[in-house]
Amino acid sequence: MNISAVRGFRDVLPQESAIWQELEAQARRYLTAYGFAEIILPVVEKTELFARAIGETTDIVEKEMYTFTDRDDASLTLRPEGTASVIRAYIEHSLFHKEPVSKLFYIGPMFRRERPQKGRYRQFHQIGAEILGRDDPLIDAELLLLLHDLFTALQLTITIEVNSLGCTLCRPRHRESLRTFGESRLAALCANCQARLQRNPLRILDCKEPGCRQATADAPMLTAFLCPACGEHFDRVQAYLRQEQVCFSVNPRLVRGLDYYCRTSFEVLAQGLGAQNAVCGGGRYDGLVAQLGGPAVPGIGFAIGVERLVMLLQSHERQHLLHPDLFIAPLDERAETYAFSVAHRLRQEGYYIELDSSRRGLKAQMRRADKLGARYVLILGEQELAVGKGTIRDMQAKTDHPLAVDLTLPAQKMMESIQLKNI
Ligand code: ATP
Ligand code: MG
């Protein structure tokens, strides 16, 4: 019996990892442009951190965490998300003393024991960013602008949905009103919503069951309950976005899965992914740092789902794999030994060289060079080597020219004569 990967855990093969790298490079570029620095976090944390940060009554903490008892009886958990760890590190290293505002990003795997399906895995990856220390609307708008710029650079058509979840002043009134409303429609709600109605009534707004959707169509929305300060905050975030011509829509039903969100909340949706169409989620969490034992510092962040974005970029049918700068086709053993040194010389300087050691005929090697998309092929045979020469074939122009193969030349000079640049 062959051993396969664990259900919900997957391999990323080279065709896909090339897209992955491109996505990561673009993300790093824009994160840097907006002043974010990377934080590299552990994959395992004390279970208590997530219980306190995410909330005991959320799906993640109740049934999706990979929790285990270590050999010293400590309860540990594979991180289901990144924000809790960022804040744990922020408090642990007193980063708030060093800078008035911290802009941090992370990239890495997350673990949730969900039902695996298209775009939903048990190990998945997120690119996340957090801004700690500021609560003005400009910050919220900046974070959304960064997302807008990144998705535009990736040539993806997306929809940004925003909402305000209010604060501890406006939320309780809305919660009460929603609970009363839910109770009046109890029979029409799914079992899950009926159970949530007492603990976390907000969640009935984002239930995906058609029956619940219909029953809550005229439910009281938070936007109608916002206190003046939250209302103004939300207005200003939207004004900044309009000023920069960012397309977005207000979705008053948008609530986030995690308990700690307040004020600005958002989701980025993409078409072509089926039911799992959210490629990014985020929002403000002003009470969370204090809740985890730190100072009363406000925060906001997002997390992008890498797998879903890669799926989208794949469907664009772009050519992502790197092409060799040079493909070397040695025709016999002596030529191969020489080619080995030529390849080393050029690789040392960072050129991507494919060296064919199959000893197959020229035709077969050329077919392979073509498949890899090599622009130039260096053909080395006994006759040519005897006079210190090789033949360069320009695969695009379909022309040949001789090349003096001189190992004493610097790599750049060698590449230039291969590309006929110095002539
Ligand atoms: P969803 O509604 O799709 O479950 P979520 O609200 O649980 O998403 P967040 O916790 O905000 O998602 O995570 C941010 C992003 O991470 C999501 O928008 C999605 O792209 C991605 N993501 C979340 N869970 C998974 C998963 N199990 N597999 C793959 N990607 C995921
Ligand atoms: Mg989820």
* pLDDT interval class at 160 (50, 70, 90): very high
Encode pLDDT of 374-404 as tens digits: 999 999 998 888 888 999 999 999 999 999 8
Mean pLDDT calculated for residue range 184-196 = 87
| CA pair distance 128, 107, nearest whole angstrom | 6
Using the predicted structure, report yes or no on whether residue 321 has a pLDDT greater than 80: no
What pLDDT digit, counting tens, does each position of 18-76 carry? 899 999 999 999 999 999 999 999 999 999 999 999 887 778 888 999 999 999 999 99
Sign of the Cα torsion 41, 43, 46, 52 reads: positive
Point out the ligand 1 atom lying closest to the alpha carbon of residue 119: 29
What single letter denotes the amino acid at residue 62?
E
Q: List the one residue out of 301, 239, 297 whose CA is nearest residue 266.
A: 301
Identify the pLDDT of residue 323.
87
Q: What is the mean pLDDT of the chain?
A: 92
Q: Describe the chain by its helix, strand, coil percentages, rounded to 5.
A: 40, 20, 35
User: With 80 as the cut, is the pLDDT of residue 322 above it?
Assistant: no
Question: pLDDT at residue 264 above 90?
Answer: yes
Contact (Cβ atoms closer than 8 angstroms) between residue 222 and residue 170: yes
Which atom from ligand 1 is nearest to the alpha carbon of 303?
Answer: 14
pLDDT cut 70: percent of the chain above it: 98
pLDDT at residue 39, rounded to an integer = 98
- Strand, coil or helix: what is 284? strand
The pLDDT assigned to 258 comes to 62
CA distance 227 to 355: 68
* Angle, CA of 33, 34 and 35, to the nearest 5°: 95
Identify which ligand lies nearest to the alpha carbon of 110: 1
Please state, in angstroms and rounded to a whole number, the distance separating the CA atoms of residues 21 and 218. Answer: 45
Question: Mean pLDDT across the stretch 101-114?
Answer: 97
Nearest CA to ligand 1 atom 6: 257
* Region for 29 from its dihedrals, namely left if φ exceeds 0, alpha if ψ lies in -120 to 50, beta otherwise: alpha
| Alpha carbons 102 and 35: distance in angstroms, whole number | 9
pLDDT of 318 reads 56
* CA-308 nearest atom, ligand 1: 20
What angle do helix axes 14-33 and 306-314 make, rounded to 10 degrees?
120
Least distant ligand from the CA of 312 = 1
Which of the residue ranges 15-24, 45-54, 106-115, 309-318 would you say has the lowest mean pLDDT?
309-318
- What is the rounded distance in angstroms from the CA atom of residue 267 to the CA atom of residue 338? 57
* Residues with a CB atom less than 6 Å from ligand 1: 81, 112, 114, 119-121, 124, 126, 257, 276, 278-281, 303, 305, 307-308
Using most ligand atoms within 8 A of CB, pick from 79, 254, 255, 280 the residue to mutate for ligand 1: 280
Positive or negative, the Cα torsion across 26, 31, 32, 33?
positive
Predicted confidence at residue 203, as pLDDT, reads: 82
The residue contributing the CA closest to ligand 1 atom 21 is 305
270-273: Cβ within 8 A, 24+ apart = 270/156, 270/157, 270/158, 270/159, 270/308, 270/309, 270/312, 271/157, 272/312, 272/315, 273/118, 273/119, 273/308, 273/311, 273/312
What is the mean predicted confidence (pLDDT) over 400-421? Answer: 88
Res. 294 pLDDT band, cuts 50 70 90: very high
15: left (phi over 0), alpha (psi -120 to 50) or beta: alpha
Q: How confident is the model at residue 118 (pLDDT cuts 50, 70, 90)?
A: very high
User: Is residue 422 pLDDT above 60, yes or no?
Assistant: no
- Is the pLDDT confidence value at 317 over 70? no
Q: Over pLDDT 90: what percentage of the chain?
A: 67
d(CA 249, CA 267): 10
Domains detected in the chain: 14-170+226-315 (3.30.930.10), 326-420 (3.40.50.800)
Question: Tell me: the pLDDT tens digits for 214-232?
Answer: 889 889 998 899 999 999 9
405: confidence class by pLDDT, cuts 50, 70, 90: confident
H runs (alpha helix) in 273-375:
288-291, 306-314, 333-348, 362-372
Whole-number Å distance, alpha carbon 59 to ligand 1 midpoint, is: 12
Q: Of the bound ligands, which one is closest to the alpha carbon of residue 121?
A: 1
Look at residue 182 and give its three-state secondary structure.
Answer: helix
Amino acid 282: pLDDT:
95
Residue 293 CA from chain centroid, whole number:
29
What pLDDT is stored for residue 307 in this prediction? 97
User: 381 near 332, Cβ under 8 Å?
Assistant: yes
Residue 266 CA to ligand 2 center (angstroms) comes to 14
Spatial distance between the Cα atoms of 147 and 152, rounded to a whole number of angstroms: 8
List pLDDT tens digits, range 327-370. 999 999 989 999 999 999 999 889 999 999 888 899 999 999 99
Closest CA to 283 of 239, 246, 233: 233
Q: Which residues pair with 379 in a beta bridge?
A: 329, 391
pLDDT at 38: 98
- Which tokens is 354 given? 């494919």
The H helix count followed by the E strand count for the chain is 16, 16
Distances in whole angstroms, Cα of residue 259 to Cα of each of 201, 227, 278, 423: 12, 20, 19, 67
**Residue 309 alpha carbon, nearest atom of ligand 1:** 20
Distance CA 111, CA 125 (A): 9
pLDDT at 176 over 70: yes
- Residue 233: pLDDT over 90: yes
Q: Ligand 1 pocket test: which of 107, 150, 307 has the largest number of ligand atoms within 8 Å of its C-beta?
A: 307
